Amino acid sequence: MKFTFEKEKIVKALNSVTKAVPVRTTLPILEGILIQTNDNDIKLTCYDQELGIEYIIKDCSVSEQGATVVNANMFSEIIRKLPDTEINISINENNLLVIECEGSLYKLATMNPDDFPELPEINVENSIEIEQNTLKDMISKTIFAVSTEENRPIFTGCLFEVKNNKLNVVAVDGFRLAWKSKFLQSNTNDFSAVIPGRTLIEINKILLDSFDMIKIGIAKNQALFEIENCKIVTRLLDGEFLNYSKVIPDKWDTRIRVNKNDIANCFERVSLISSSSIEKEKKYPVRVNVEVGKITISCANQTGDAKEELYVTTEGKNLEIGFNPKYLLDVFRSIDDEEIFIDFGTSISPCIVRSVEEDGDYKYMILPIKLKNE
């Protein structure tokens, strides 16, 4: 195997495929990157047996065809630190991978490409196409609400549901729920699949903030994402996802309209007291009092107390309710617009946060924490 390519091309490919290299594994071959030539194309593949990423670098100068596997982290770090010029790759008589660039020369041990696991063949049953910037926005607005608790694996992923030609992406962790929807440009069948959160985090790093399209294909137990020269394969999560449409309240008793940055800054400051408890195992909620024209945000524990008052537009009843401030701060960071609605029911029922500007295609639900009388 012998070929030459521009550094810029392979760095882009490495940035994508190495996201599928496992952090820890007992199989050294999975720590490798499979390098294959096909005419004048170079194919790079990494696969941890749950997430696989393949990238084809087109129009390289290939003088000898072949395939090999080399440690992915070592190879990618060397390539990134080489000068920005042409790089020559070859296999020598000792089966070492030789990297040459100007005055630099590196030789790396290789592994047998026949031992590298093949990416699964996916017989796509349903598929959609969506702009990369749209999908990037949908993932960003939901992924933070995915559960990290492995005892409920189905909630460690996001539901991708196509219904009535609209894509709904939903994440839930038992305490909160994030839902983002978008109408698709072309007609497609209804379907649903739960995609692992880790996969979506890595895909979001690859997606561009552009109008270029990404194709998503769903099979029985696998999903396929195709972006130009890049192909991403992932397993789907098994189980029954929450029937989210039945748990999101459609009525409110109390509503506030507030500048997102103003209320976020208040919660940031008060949360300093909330998270500074001497008794680290205890969780102290932030208390929110809604009165006519203003809200009071407060917290008290052994280390001190804090209180912030903020003048807002209010409708409905007065209310006292408690929250984990992190859950509210997460959604404040994800909303792009300046003003938000926060809709409340009772002090023990979930509240809804959404943008004033968006046409109901993004909602965030959070369960309150029961307050103790002081």
Question: What DSSP character marks residue 241?
Answer: P
Q: Cα dist. 183→158, 159, 238, 325, 335 in Å? A: 18, 16, 26, 32, 19
The reply to whether 254-366 shares the fold of 2-115 is: yes
Per-residue pLDDT, 228: 87
Pick the CATH number of 2-115 from 3.50.50.100, 3.40.50.300, 3.30.160.270, 3.10.150.10: 3.10.150.10
Per-residue pLDDT, 151: 86
Question: What DSSP character marks residue 94?
Answer: T
Average pLDDT over residues 243-270: 95
How many residues appear in the chain?
374
For 347, the token pair is 């002090």
Q: Strand 126-131 relative to strand 157-163: parallel, antiparallel, unpaired? A: unpaired
**How many Å apart are CA 71 and CA 44, to the nearest integer?**
12
Handedness of CA 91, 93, 95, 100 (dihedral sign): negative
For 69, the token pair is 């596997």
**How many Å apart are CA 227 and CA 223, to the nearest integer?**
13
C-beta separation of 325 from 371 below 8 A: no
For 141, the token pair is 């607005």
Check whether 358 has a pLDDT greater than 80.
Answer: no
Would you identify the CATH topology of the domain 126-240?
DNA Polymerase III; Chain A, domain 2 (3.10.150)
Average pLDDT over residues 21-41: 93
Helix or strand holding residue 182 (H, E): strand 176-183
Residues 6+ apart with CB under 8 A from 226: 214, 215, 217, 232
Of residues 283 and 163, more confidence is placed in 163
Per DSSP, the residues of 215-233 read EEEE-SSEEEEEETTEEEE
Instruction: Name the strands in the sheet holding 222-227, side by side, starting at the edge strand that comes first in the sequence.
Output: 110-111, 67-71, 32-38, 41-47, 51-57, 230-235, 222-227, 213-218, 126-131
Check whether 373 has a pLDDT greater than 70.
Answer: no
Whole-structure pTM value: 0.91
Strand partners, 45: 34, 54
Check whether 359 has a pLDDT greater than 90.
Answer: no
Q: Cα dist. 41→3, 48, 60, 66, 309 in Å? A: 10, 23, 6, 11, 62
- Angle (CA) 28-31-37 rounded to 5° is 110
pLDDT digits (tens, 9 = 90+) for 104-133: 999 999 999 999 999 999 999 999 999 999
Check whether 282 has a pLDDT greater than 60.
Answer: no
Per DSSP, the residues of 138-169 read HHHTTGGGS---TTSGGGGEEEEEEETTEEEE
Per-residue pLDDT, 23: 87
Check whether 99 has a pLDDT greater than 80.
Answer: yes
Residue 123 CB burial class (10 angstroms; 0-12, 13-18, ≥19): exposed
Check whether 278 has a pLDDT greater than 60.
Answer: no
pLDDT digits (tens, 9 = 90+) for 168-177: 999 999 899 9
User: What does residue 244 show for φ and ψ, rounded to 5 degrees?
Assistant: -65, -30
Of residues 252 and 373, more confidence is placed in 252
For 272, the token pair is 């300093």
Share of the chain above pLDDT 90, in %: 85
Domain boundaries, given as residue ranges, for the chain: 2-115, 126-240, 254-366
pLDDT digits (tens, 9 = 90+) for 47-80: 999 999 999 999 889 999 999 999 999 999 999 9
Check whether 374 has a pLDDT greater than 60.
Answer: no
Per-residue pLDDT, 309: 97
CATH number of 254-366: 3.10.150.10
Radius of gyration of the chain (CA): 25
Residue 116 CB burial class (10 angstroms; 0-12, 13-18, ≥19): buried
Check whether 360 has a pLDDT greater than 80.
Answer: no
pLDDT digits (tens, 9 = 90+) for 195-250: 999 999 999 999 999 999 999 999 999 999 999 899 999 999 999 999 999 999 98
Lookup result for tokens 């939903």:
170
Average pLDDT over residues 4-24: 92
